[in-house]
Amino acid sequence: MNRRTLHTLFASLAVAATFSTAAFAQAPIVLKFSHVVANDTPKGKGAERFKELAEKYTKGRVKVELYPNSSLYKDKEELEALQLGAVQMLAPSLAKFGPLGVKEFELFDLPYIFPGKDVLYRVTEGPVGKGLFKKLEPKGIVGLAYWDNGFKVMSSNKPMHVPADFRGMKMRIQSSKVLDAQMRALGANPQVMAFSEVYQALQTGVVDGTENPPSNLYTQKMHEVQKHVTLSDHGYLGYAVIVNKKFWDGLPADVRGQLQNAMKDSTKYANAIAQQENDRALDAVRKSGKTRVYSLTPPEKAEWRRALLPVQKDMEARIGRDIIQAVNKEALALGYK
């Protein structure tokens, strides 16, 4: 090699190095956010807003990849994937933390624990909500926010007016022991199943019915295979937005701050639209003409309460008496009896 060739070679190597350093410096941090529901739901829309704001606030230093509808992982797998770092962010329902070893989250599944959303917000934004997030840290997880969905309705192919109507029915539940106890208190047989499998299980009769807020029922088309829906307001469904702790702690401080702001703003948005999304979905279910939507009469409501309220006491040892009492105290402070 003569001097001239050598010189050219060094020059081109230097250019290549400059390019790759520049490319490296500009490579965005990828944040994979996996969830199990449709985009057109409170959680789906909250995730889309988070992506938009996270990319905007970090000026593109973070790229959020959304994987809705169990397209990457199903319920149980997604929690494992988060702990392994295969995804960085999830928003599982609060009924799905038991298998992770943080059963106290099942507080949110207790029948009639929240007489209104005002009590719920006091709980999630107060010491109980923060205390629950603390319990995630030893699992390598950081809790960032609570996202709302709404109160659940019951669905099946039979009218469900009183608890006796549930006798012997196979009801799909999420992986929560409280929900198991709730279905048993109604005389039903609970079956744990991943969300992505529910539609088909209902269609083929593997289970007879299920519970979910209208937004999930409608966007998964469950109303097409369920003739009856009862507006029972017996229980609540919400989410914890969580991140892999190693990923979160390893972010540059300024980026973490920008993502915190994006989370704060998308949480406000998700919680503001949750009720209207559910109202809209219920309306669409009614309009479909495929499902009869039934509202309980006051005496029927009283019967449901009589059957389901003992679950609160029965689950005290699992959830912790202190946190159940803390919720009841908030309710009293807000004027509920």
Task: Tell me how far, at minimum, the Cβ of 35 lies from ligand LMR, in Å.
Answer: 7
Placement of tokens 């319920």 in the chain: 75
Q: Which residue, among 188, 200, 193, has the nearest Cα to 176 in the 3D structure?
A: 193
Site string for ligand LMR, 192-221 (x = CB under 6 A): ---x----------------x---x-----
Task: Tell me how far, at minimum, the Cβ of 115 lies from ligand LMR, in Å.
Answer: 21
State the CB neighbour count (10 A cutoff) for residue 336. 13
Please identify, using beta-carbon distances, which residue of 74 and 135 lies nearer to ligand LMR. Answer: 74
Site string for ligand LMR, 24-63 (x = CB under 6 A): ------------xx--------------------------
- Cα(224)–Cα(280) distance, rounded to whole angstroms? 17
Sheet holding 89-90, edge to edge: 62-67, 29-34, 89-90, 236-244, 141-151
Cβ-based neighbours of 173, under 8 Å, separated by 6 or more: 95, 179, 180, 182, 183, 190, 191, 192, 193, 210, 211
Please identify, using beta-carbon distances, which residue of 88 and 212 lies nearer to ligand LMR. Answer: 212
Please identify, using beta-carbon distances, which residue of 50 and 195 lies nearer to ligand LMR. Answer: 195
Please identify, using beta-carbon distances, which residue of 174 and 182 lies nearer to ligand LMR. Answer: 174
Beta strand 62-67 pairing with 236-244: unpaired
Please identify, using beta-carbon distances, which residue of 58 and 147 lies nearer to ligand LMR. Answer: 147
Please identify, using beta-carbon distances, which residue of 58 and 216 lies nearer to ligand LMR. Answer: 216
Residue 271 lies near ligand LMR (rule: CB under 6 A): no
For residue 143, the 8-state DSSP code is E
Calculate ∠ Cα 200-206-211, nearest 5°.
75
- Given 54, 110, 185, 237, the residue binding ligand LMR (CB under 6 A): 237
| H or E segment to which residue 325 belongs | helix 321-333
Please identify, using beta-carbon distances, which residue of 133 and 195 lies nearer to ligand LMR. Answer: 195
Please identify, using beta-carbon distances, which residue of 93 and 124 lies nearer to ligand LMR. Answer: 93
State which amino acid sits at residue 332: L
Q: Which residue, among 43, 260, 78, 219, has the nearest Cα to 148 in the 3D structure?
A: 43
Site string for ligand LMR, 272-311 (x = CB under 6 A): ----------------------------------------
Task: Tell me how far, at minimum, the Cβ of 151 lies from ligand LMR, in Å.
Answer: 13
Site string for ligand LMR, 81-100 (x = CB under 6 A): ------------x-------
Task: Tell me how far, at minimum, the Cβ of 198 lies from ligand LMR, in Å.
Answer: 7
* Direct distance between the N- and C-terminal alpha carbons of the chain, in angstroms, rounded to an integer: 91
Sign of CA dihedral 123, 127, 133, 136: negative
Total residues in contact with ligand LMR, by rule CB under 6 A: 9
| H or E segment to which residue 34 belongs | strand 29-34
Task: Tell me how far, at minimum, the Cβ of 211 lies from ligand LMR, in Å.
Answer: 8
State which amino acid sits at residue 208: D
Site string for ligand LMR, 136-175 (x = CB under 6 A): -------------x------------------------x-
Chain positions contacting ligand LMR, by CB under 6 A: 36-37, 93, 149, 174, 195, 212, 216, 237
